[in-house]
């Protein structure tokens, strides 16, 4: 069988034109072999060095050419070795951050449940005050008592659970203790919940940065960032190389910079950009910070559009953007 238009066709069913094409290609490459007419190249796709060849593959934009076969082989296996190292670093760090992210989600769930349990702390204060206000009329042998709620504009009666055998003052003190305990717990958990949501948002950004990382320096910078922020307990090596933000040029010549980590995002936004530059970031979605350098205080519409596309691509919306671009391409 031979492949034809992503399908398979029996050799016996080949047309005369198909057979002529195969024959011509066969003799063409035989002639190149006999004349030692080689073009040593490595085919590279989005995942790195894919394979190496001695002829052009027809995708010259994805090929790197070499003068000697030894140079090609050395470069290919050096690239593969580097890619494997980067992939392992990425895998280990991504797994760690993913674990931290899942733990944060569990913390949020736990805080929400506990907050729900103690959010009605004010009712215990009300019980305590009503018991004190009516202490001389309470039957201490009751499990529950009906008391008039003087905070209610209609002065309705409410049922208050009572601790049989204890004096009203003792029961009131119990309710005050329960009120203070639940109130303090509620405030503490609310603060923890707020911090956990911020932590979750931060870890989402780190995961996006790791997914977009293509070099070892960026991965090490993200690791250092996690150490600085207390997520990893490890000393930072002084030998680490600082990576640089990604640099693009719009089709009409404007420089566009994309942060590859939160440290780079802060650098671009707080130190690198001037007041005339344009800052971009996906709304309510974790992603990279984008800086478009202005020219005489001006930024073109084309640069704004391409900057917005980069902001979407290097964010959690990357999959949706890719899907939309595929649909748009199919429509054209």
Task: Give CA–CA dist 282/321, Å, rounded.
Answer: 12
Under the banding of pLDDT at 50, 70 and 90, the label for residue 50 is low
Average pLDDT in the 105-114 region? 94
Interval 152-184: pLDDT, tens: 888 899 999 999 889 999 999 999 999 999 999
| Mode of pairing for the β-strands spanning 40-45 and 63-66 | antiparallel
pLDDT value of residue 246: 85
3-state secondary structure of 31: helix
3-state secondary structure of 44: strand
157 DSSP β-pair partners: 148
Element (H, E) at 126: helix 122-133
Average pLDDT, the chain: 80
pLDDT value of residue 81: 54
Residue with tokens 């580097």: 82
Average pLDDT in the 302-315 region? 87
Task: Give CA–CA dist 282/316, Å, rounded.
Answer: 9
Q: Which residue has the higher pLDDT, 317 or 115?
A: 115
Element (H, E) at 256: strand 255-258
The structural domains of the chain, with segments of one domain joined by +, span 2-77, 87-234, 244-332
Residues 6+ apart with CB under 8 A from 64: 41, 42, 44, 75
In angstroms, what CA-CA distances link 4 with 7, 11, 13?
5, 11, 12
Q: Is residue 77 over pLDDT 70? A: no
Q: Do 229 and 206 contact (CB within 8 A), yes or no? A: no
Residue 116 tokens read as 């729900």
pLDDT value of residue 125: 94
């Amino acid at each position: 069988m031979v492949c034809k238009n992503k399908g398979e066709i029996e050799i016996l069913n080949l047309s005369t034109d198909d057979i002529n094409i195969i024959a011509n290609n066969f003799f063409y490459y035989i002639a190149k072999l006999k004349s030692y007419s080689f073009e040593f190249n490595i085919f590279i796709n989005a995942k790195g060095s894919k394979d190496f060849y001695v002829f052009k593959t027809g995708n010259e934009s994805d090929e790197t050419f070499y003068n000697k076969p030894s140079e090609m082989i050395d470069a290919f296996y050096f690239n593969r070795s580097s890619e494997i190292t980067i992939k392992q670093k990425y895998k280990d760090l991504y797994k760690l951050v993913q674990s931290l992210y899942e733990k944060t989600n569990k913390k949020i769930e736990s805080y929400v449940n506990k907050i729900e349990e103690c959010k009605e702390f004010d009712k215990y204060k009300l019980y305590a005050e009503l018991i004190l206000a009516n202490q001389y009329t309470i039957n201490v042998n009751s499990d529950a008592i009906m008391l008039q709620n003087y905070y209610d504009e209609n002065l309705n009666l409410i049922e208050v659970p009572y601790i049989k055998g204890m004096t009203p003052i003792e029961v009131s003190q119990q309710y005050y203790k329960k009120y203070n305990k639940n109130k303090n717990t509620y405030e503490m958990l609310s603060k923890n919940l707020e911090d956990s949501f911020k932590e979750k948002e931060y870890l989402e950004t780190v995961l996006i940065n790791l997914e977009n990382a293509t070099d070892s320096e960026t991965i090490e910078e993200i690791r250092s960032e996690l150490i600085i922020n207390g997520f990893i307990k490890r000393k930072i090596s002084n030998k680490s190389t600082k990576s640089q933000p990604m640099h693009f040029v719009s089709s009409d010549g404007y420089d566009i910079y994309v942060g590859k980590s939160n440290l780079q995002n802060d650098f671009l936004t707080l130190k690198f950009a001037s007041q005339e530059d344009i800052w971009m970031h996906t709304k309510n979605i974790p992603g990279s910070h984008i800086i478009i350098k202005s020219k005489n205080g001006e930024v073109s519409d084309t640069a704004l559009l391409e900057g917005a596309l980069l902001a979407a691509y290097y964010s959690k919306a990357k999959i949706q953007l890719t899907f939309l671009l595929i649909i748009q391409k199919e429509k054209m």
